[in-house]
Structure 1
Amino acid sequence: MKVNLKRTNEPIFWLLFGAGGMLSALVGAMLVFITCFAVPLGILPAEAFSYASMHGFTQYFMGKAFLFAIIVLFLWHAVHRIFHSLHDVGIHAGPLARWLCYGLAFMGTVATAGALLAMV
C-alpha cells in the first residue's frame, strides 16, 4: 500500500512558533521584570539601560543577533497563535488569512533586519 504524502511548509511555522514560545517563556518574563520593575525601582542602574548603552549594545554582532531573535521569534509566535485563534472567534482561516498573518510576520522580520543592519 503506497501512501502519498502531501508536502507542506507548516513545520517551518510550527518551528518558529515553538522557538518564539520557548524564548518568550524563558526570556520574556525577565525582560518585563527588568524594564517594568528593576530599573524604575532602582534595583538596576538606569545608566545601564540608557540610549547610549543600548545603542552600543547594538553595535556588536551578538547584540544585534539577540535583539533580532527576540523581536522576530516573539512576532512569529504571536502571529501563529493569532492565525490559529481566528477559528475561535468565528473567522475562517483560509488562504487570505494565512497570507495576511504570515506576510505580516515576514514583513516584520525584514523590517527588523533592516533596522538592525542600519544601526551604525
Structure 2
Amino acid sequence: MKRSNAPIFWGLFGAGGMLAALFGPVLVFITGIAVPLGLLLPADAMSWPRMHAFAQHWAGKGFLFAIVALFLWHAAHRIYHSLHDLGVHAGAGTRLTCYGAAMLGTLLAAGALLAIGF
C-alpha cells in the first residue's frame, strides 16, 4: 500500500489555522488599529529600528517565520480544497500551484529573515 503525504499538508493546515485563529485578530488589531491610532501602545512601538531589532533577534525570526509560513500553508490547503468545492478538478497542476506557492513563499520568508542578519 502506497504511503500518503496528506498528513503533512493537513498538519501544516491545522497549525496555520490555529495560529490564524489565535494571532490573526491580534496582529490586525495591533498593526491596523492600536498603533496607528495610538491606543494602548506608544506611537513609536512599530518604528523601523524596533521592528528591525525584533526581526534580527532569534526569537523574533522564529515568530515571524512561523506566522508567515504557516499562514501560507493554511491558505494553500484551504484554496486547494475550495477549488474542488467549486468544481475545479484538483489534479497535479492545481496541487503544484497551491502548494508550490506556499513553498516559494516559505523559502522567500526564510531567505529574507536570514538576509536581515542576527
Question: Which of the five TM-score ranges fits, normalised by the shorter chain?
Answer: over 0.9
Whether the 8 Å CA contact 2:83–2:89 is kept in 1: the answer is yes
Q: How much is the aligned-residue C-alpha RMSD, in angstroms?
A: 0.9
Question: Alpha-carbon deviation of 1:89?
Answer: 1.9
Structure 1 moving runs of 4+ over 3 Å = none
What 5-or-longer segments of structure 1 have no aligned partner? none
User: Among the aligned pairs, what percent are the same residue?
Assistant: 65
Which string of whole-angstrom CA distances, capped at 9 and with x for unpartnered residues, describes residues 35-74 of structure 1? 1111122111121101110001011100000000000000
The residue type equivalent to 2:8 in the other structure is I
**Alignment-derived partner of residue 17 in structure 1:** 13
What 5-or-longer segments of structure 2 have no aligned partner? none
**Alignment-derived partner of residue 58 in structure 1:** 55
Distance 1:46 1:19 in 2: 32
**Alignment-derived partner of residue 76 in structure 1:** 73
Aligned length: 116
Distance 1:45 1:62 in 2: 22
Question: Alpha-carbon deviation of 1:80?
Answer: 0.4
What secondary structure sits across from 1:96 in the alignment? helix
| TM-score for the superposition, normalised by structure 2 | 0.94
1:104 and 2:101 correspond: yes
